[in-house]
Amino acid sequence: MDENAKKVNPIVVDVSHVSMYFDVPQYRYDTLKERVVNFLKGKRNRTRRIQVLEDVSFQINRGESLGVIGHNGAGKSTLLKIVSGIYAPKAGTVKTRGKVVLLNLGAGFDMEADAVENIYLNGAILGFSRAQMKKRFDSIVEFAEIEDFLKLPLKNYSSGMISRLGFAIAMDIHPDVLLVDEVLSVGDANFQKKCLERIRQMQDEGTSLLFVSHSIPQVRSFCKNTIWIENSKVMAYGDTETVCNQYLEYCESIAGKKKK
């Protein structure tokens, strides 16, 4: 089925009219005691609806990349969590094909365990057995450059090292869709370069990329299309050059207003 099906239908990510909100209660009751006390007092707990995404639609073809830009709190990370299946959207549908891997800081790691255990744990969460991960072990450790720290608990790692390990595992698993949430920014310059080269190589091999970044040059160099999200709404979606220019203009106009 595989090769032909992919040629016939090269869409690997299909997000259609997705909306997401969280109902946040005015007071957060975490215990049974609080609930009972407040019920007896007759206090009503109203919830406030926080809209995170509103009617977001896009598609990614096999081997293509989509950049996601926007200010902090715009809803980018939530979007990635919805595409990866962590959250179920309140409206709309998400369809993905093949193995989807979400790469964010500290994803799938136990900070108390050491690197060896975490490689197996992370692999198992992605559906790989211990034997399968053993074969990949050396190349993961080599790519992450952590040979000397294998027996160290992850809580003693720097954030750059953790991101390197996460990246190395995700790369070795050859996902069909890679969701990258701002992880490259914590690595040093050399590692960033290595990662970017690797991502490009994976794109050639047919991996699709959903790329959240605040680095406009990186988005420009990777992504054919870009989606710009601001305050939970899609501001622009299309050709990267056009969308990035619109975004930068918007940023300048905001900065201008603030100065005045």
Partner 1 sequence: MKRIPVISAVYRDRNAIYEIARKDVKTQYRGSVLGFLWTILHPLLNMLVLWIIFRNLFGKSDPYYVLYLLCGNILFAAFRASTDQSLRSIVGNRGLLLRTKISPYIFPAAKTVTGMINFAYSLLALLPFMIYLSVTQGVNLFSYQLAFVLLVLPAFWLFELGMGLFLSALYVFFRDLRHIYAVILTLWMYLTPIFYKVENLNLDDFGRTVINCNPMYHFVTYFRECVYMGATAKNAEGLLAPTLPSWTTLGICYLCGVGGLILGIAFFMALKRKIIIRI
Within 162-201, which residues bind partner 1 (CB under 8 A)? Answer: none
Please tell me whether residue 123 binds partner 1 under the rule CB under 8 A: yes
Q: Is the C-alpha dihedral spanning 211, 208, 86, 141 positive or negative? A: negative
Q: How far is the CB of 92 from partner 1 (least distance, A)?
A: 16
For residues 109 and 118, the answer to whether their CB atoms sit within 8 Å is yes
Angle at alpha carbon of residue 160, lines to 162 and 111, rounded to 5°:
30
DSSP 54-70: EEEEEEEETT-EEEEE-
> Left, alpha or beta for 58 (phi > 0: left; psi -120 to 50: alpha)?
beta
For residues 5 and 86, the answer to whether their CB atoms sit within 8 Å is no
Q: Which of 2, 4, 31, 40 binds partner 1 (CB under 8 A)?
A: 31
Pull the structure tokens for residue 237: 């979606």
Q: How far is the CB of 23 from partner 1 (least distance, A)?
A: 8
Q: Specify which residues 23 forms β-bridges with.
A: 49
CB-wise, 30 or 204, nearer to partner 1? Answer: 30
Please tell me whether residue 86 binds partner 1 under the rule CB under 8 A: yes
Q: How far is the CB of 121 from partner 1 (least distance, A)?
A: 5
CB-wise, 149 or 228, nearer to partner 1? Answer: 149
> Stretches 42-50, 54-62, 110-118, 232-240: which one binds partner 1 (CB under 8 A)?
110-118
Binding site for partner 1 (CB under 8 A): 22, 30-33, 35, 81, 84-88, 100, 102, 104, 106-113, 117, 120-121, 123-125, 127-130
